[in-house]
Amino acid sequence: MKIKKIVMMIIFLIIIIILIIKVKDFINNTNLYSNVLNSNWSIDLPKEYEEVYSSGDKESFLGDGKRYHVFKYHTDDINSCIDWSFNKDLKLESSVNDILKNLNVPEENMIDFNNEYKYFYKKESDSSKLYIIFMSDSYNVYILEDIQ
């Protein structure tokens, strides 16, 4: 009888430990910015990145505002996950630089458009805008959200 109680207690503890590990993994994966990007914009970026910089204007109850992230990717998958545009776009560069200046982004975290880049741009019906700029030489990805 005593052995049965001990075995049941061990099984119960193992189940609790497994549940704690699963909940922790779920929370960590849910909070990934790539998941937020997928939820907001239906863009699926690889999850193998390191966040270099993040900035945004004041948080809004409705989630609107401007957000800026810089990620360093460690995989070639970033090259093929989006239908990138390759041509230099001065209008895009101007819009992006205006947003970054409004966010008071330090010079070292600004995008150097003198380097070769690829980009993706999306505008929603509510006038929200997404800019993703990829520097293929450094594997840095710059993401700007302007949510209305």
Phi, psi of 116 (to 5 degrees): -70, 135
Per-residue pLDDT of the chain (148 residues; tens, 9 = 90+): 788 888 888 999 999 998 888 777 666 555 577 777 888 898 988 888 899 999 988 766 666 789 999 999 988 899 888 999 998 999 999 999 999 999 999 999 999 999 999 999 999 999 999 999 999 899 999 999 998 8
What does each C-alpha distance from 17 to 12, 23, 39, 76, 102 come to in angstroms? 9, 10, 30, 36, 47
What does the pLDDT read at residue 117?
Answer: 96
pLDDT of residue 60: 62
Angle value at C-alpha 104, between 100 and 107, nearest 5 degrees: 75
Integer-rounded Cα Rg, in Å, for the chain is 21
Query: Beta strands of the chain (E only): which ranges?
Result: 49-56, 65-73, 118-123, 129-135, 140-147
pLDDT at residue 24 in the model: 76
Instruction: Return the DSSP state at 74.
Output: -
Antiparallel, parallel or unpaired: β 65-73 and 118-123: unpaired
The values of phi and psi at residue 138, to 5°, are: -110, -10
pLDDT of residue 139: 94
- Give the single-character DSSP code of 85: B
Please tell me the predicted confidence (pLDDT) of residue 14: 92
- CA 23 vs. chain centroid, Å, equals 21
Task: Region of 65 please: left (phi>0), alpha (psi -120 to 50) or beta.
Answer: left
Domain parsing of the chain, residue ranges: 1-31, 33-147
